[in-house]
Chain A
Amino acid sequence: AQKVTQAQTEISVVEKEDVTLDCVYETRDTTYYLFWYKQPPSGELVFLIRRNSFDEQNEISGRYSWNFQKSTSSFNFTITASQVVDSAVYFCALSGFPYTGTASKLTFGTGTRLQVTL
């Protein structure tokens, strides 16, 4: 069975602080995909990143960066110099490799609510 754990329910930071959102996953698949989605107060889900299990390189996109460590089954998300517009619920998710039973299912964590204040 697949499982995604986001132990941080809520985080509050002051603007310009760096913040890291933790994600730990469990899967029996040897190959899989990891995702982060953002849900702003307006409610829609916005895709941020997809990473396959073959690629353990860290990724940076502007103020966002992701640290994938297969050894610890973690896929953490860091926002550098946070801004008020980053306030949202962030979900980590996991799916299996193509054409396997788990590939048809995106398993979500329970989400981390990030509040950035001035």
Chain B
Amino acid sequence: DAGITQSPRHKVTETGTPVTLRCHQTENHRYMYWYRQDPGHGLRLIHYSYGVKDTDKGEVSDGYSVSRSKTEDFLLTLESATSSQTSVYFCAISEEQMNTEAFFGQGTRLTVV
């Protein structure tokens, strides 16, 4: 199994509070991604990183920011959580771009009340 750890695995937070989700990898892969999974939408890309301090937006990036200060860590921050951000968040890594096999973390279930 690829070494990807997401933390926390579950979180309940209140509307308007900041939340940070962490993705940690031990594979030294260059690319890291944050997806959200919602019923009826499949998985949608939020942000991705192609190296330390190199990030770009995905299709649903509004309300989210990311940071990657080390190869192994990719943080997703909700500056002010809203109920529409209640979702399951998946981190993924790949050695190259998304045309190679991607490995996904176990997911983080976030509930914003």
Contacts and interface: CB of A to CB of B under 8 A. Distances in A.
Nearest to A105: B45
Interface stretch (A60-68, A70-78, A107-115): A107-115
Contacts, number: 64
B107 A104 contact: no
Given A43-B106, A43-B107, A45-B104, A95 B99 contact: yes
A104 B59 CA distance: 12
A106 interface: yes
B33 to A, nearest CB: 8
Interface in B69-113: 88, 90, 92, 96-107
Nearest to B88: A43
Interface in A76-96: 91, 93, 95-96
Contact of B45 (A52, A98, A106, A109): A106
B43 A99 contact: no
Contact of A104 (B43, B97, B101, B104): B97
Nearest to A99: B97
B101 A98 contact: no
A33 B99 contact: yes
A95 B98 contact: yes
Contacts of B58: 105
B50 interface: yes
Given A44-B106, A105-B98, A91 B42 contact: yes
Contacts of A108: 42-44
Contacts of B33: 106
B14 interface: no
Nearest to A104: B97
A117 B43 CA distance: 27
Nearest to B109: A43
B90 A45 contact: yes
A111 B44 CA distance: 12
Interface of B: 31, 33, 40-45, 48, 50, 56, 58-59, 88, 90, 92, 96-107
